[in-house]
Amino acid sequence: MDIEYVRSRFIKHFDGSTGSVYTSPGRINLIGEHTDYNGGYVFPGAIDKGVTAELKPNGTDKVRAYSIDMKDYVEFGLQEEDAPRTSWARYIFGVCREMIKRGVEVKGFNTAFAGDVPLGAGMSSSAALESTYAYAFNDMFGNNSLDKFTLAQVGQATEHNYCGVKCGIMDQFASVFGKADHLMRLDCRSLDYQYYPFRPEGYKLVLLDSAVKHELASSAYNKRRQSCESAVAAIRQFHPEVSFLRDATMDMLEEAKHAITEEDYLRARYVIEEIQRVLDVCDALQRDDYETVGEKMYATHEGMSKLYEVSCEELDFLNQCAREHGVTGSRVMGGGFGGCTINLVKADFYDRFVQEARNSFAKQFGHYPKVYDVVISNGARRLD
């Protein structure tokens, strides 16, 4: 997102002066879906699409916020009871409150922001927004006293406490810690992480966006989380040392099967298998074994579709298309319930696959999927 574009709108909308400009990206995730809130592994990378915001303290106790994309202006105070109703503004408000809770003295400011992460595509536009403001407040009001993990946790707590989604830490982590040409393997239990150079020779990563958005995605997401918690509670009857599905094995789950619903059993099985797949993919990448990486991606899709049930007709169709065209790996990416598939494609096949997938999708569903090439990029930073 172009700094001059945001700056010109900031100048036009407020008193003509300039402030400081910050940006944070959305993310992709190669593998490890719905594992973060189960204490498992994820393997995301930041992308070249994000949110850019200009901010300037205004000497009052009010936030004056302008969404350039929505052409919408909202003003709110910084106390708990000042929560705005407009949904985009609640993210900024939530970040203000979570920073204040962590000791940062956020004061009134003017801000304008814009983004180019497609909304509802599973590429974490909301984490990009949260991380931009968390990073900005830390710099402007907090002497950079909070570390990067705390900034990611501020975004996550904003989702939990102000936006109604009980998400894990993956999206905000990726947005804050992103590094160009690197994926990051995060252990969501210990918060240890490692950067993995990722420039797959002879392959490309491409996202196909079904443009499907499900109204009830956040309640369905929260319900998945509850299923995992029920499974853990049942396993703990026999194995009190288990605090997350990450700590459980398939044998433990089998042992507890009678005490949980069939649905919760299937959800938990998916998670236990998916956590292992992340480790398998990391090993395969060390050997440049992209065939194995791709097989695991297909297995994830299968699990997300049949066991975790977060896919949909359109995404299953795109996945099937990828299989039929000999694409190395393909799966639904992010929380699911619509959004994108992520595809690992041999560079030689790329043009033909994308063209044919677009055409057959349009024939079936009456609209074209959008196509995004993945460029792995840097995380949250100041721009000016």
Per CB under 6 A, residues contacting ligand GLA are: 33-34, 36-37, 124, 167-168, 170-171, 334-335
Q: To 5 degrees, how large is the angle CA 78–CA 174–CA 94?
A: 15
Provide, rounded to whole angstroms, the least separation between the CB of residue 169 and ligand GLA.
Answer: 7
Dihedral angle at the C-alpha atoms of 350, 334, 100, 65, nearest 10 degrees?
Answer: 60
Question: Among residues 19 and 120, whose Cβ is nearest to ligand GLA?
Answer: 120
Question: Among residues 52 and 300, whose Cβ is nearest to ligand GLA?
Answer: 300
Q: Which of 293, 256, 262 is nearest to 278 (CA)?
A: 293
Question: Among residues 50 and 335, whose Cβ is nearest to ligand GLA?
Answer: 335
Q: Is 364 helix (H, G, I), strand (E, B) or coil?
A: helix
Question: Among residues 10 and 91, whose Cβ is nearest to ligand GLA?
Answer: 91
CB 7 within 8 A of CB 54: yes
Pull the structure tokens for residue 36.
């973060």
Dihedral angle at the C-alpha atoms of 134, 73, 107, 85, nearest 10 degrees?
Answer: -80
Pull the structure tokens for residue 21.
């400009």
**Cβ neighbours for 311, distance < 8 A, ≥ 6 positions apart:** 301, 304, 305, 319, 332, 336
Question: Among residues 43 and 353, whose Cβ is nearest to ligand GLA?
Answer: 43
Provide, rounded to whole angstroms, the least separation between the CB of residue 124 and ligand GLA.
Answer: 6
CB 78 within 8 A of CB 99: no
Q: How far apart are CA 203 and CA 226, in angstroms?
A: 38
**Cβ neighbours for 298, distance < 8 A, ≥ 6 positions apart:** 319, 323, 329, 330, 331
Provide, rounded to whole angstroms, the least separation between the CB of residue 168 and ligand GLA.
Answer: 3
User: Is 171 a residue of the active site?
Assistant: yes
Provide, rounded to whole angstroms, the least separation between the CB of residue 83 and ligand GLA.
Answer: 21
- Give the residues across from 258 on adjacent strands: none
Q: How far apart are CA 118 and CA 27, in angstroms?
A: 11
Q: How far apart are CA 276 and CA 356, in angstroms?
A: 33
**If you ran DSSP here, which 8-state letter would residue 159 be given?**
I
Provide, rounded to whole angstroms, the least separation between the CB of residue 243 and ligand GLA.
Answer: 18
Provide, rounded to whole angstroms, the least separation between the CB of residue 331 and ligand GLA.
Answer: 11
Question: Among residues 54 and 314, whose Cβ is nearest to ligand GLA?
Answer: 314
Question: Among residues 169 and 354, whose Cβ is nearest to ligand GLA?
Answer: 169
- The catalytic residue among 36, 171, 264, 316 is 171
Q: How far apart are CA 330 and CA 328, in angstroms?
A: 7
Pull the structure tokens for residue 265.
């059993």
Dihedral angle at the C-alpha atoms of 199, 202, 205, 210, nearest 10 degrees?
Answer: 180
Provide, rounded to whole angstroms, the least separation between the CB of residue 253 and ligand GLA.
Answer: 20
Q: How far apart are CA 184 and CA 209, in angstroms?
A: 23
* φ and ψ at residue 88, rounded to 5 degrees: -65, -35
Return the active site residues. Answer: 171
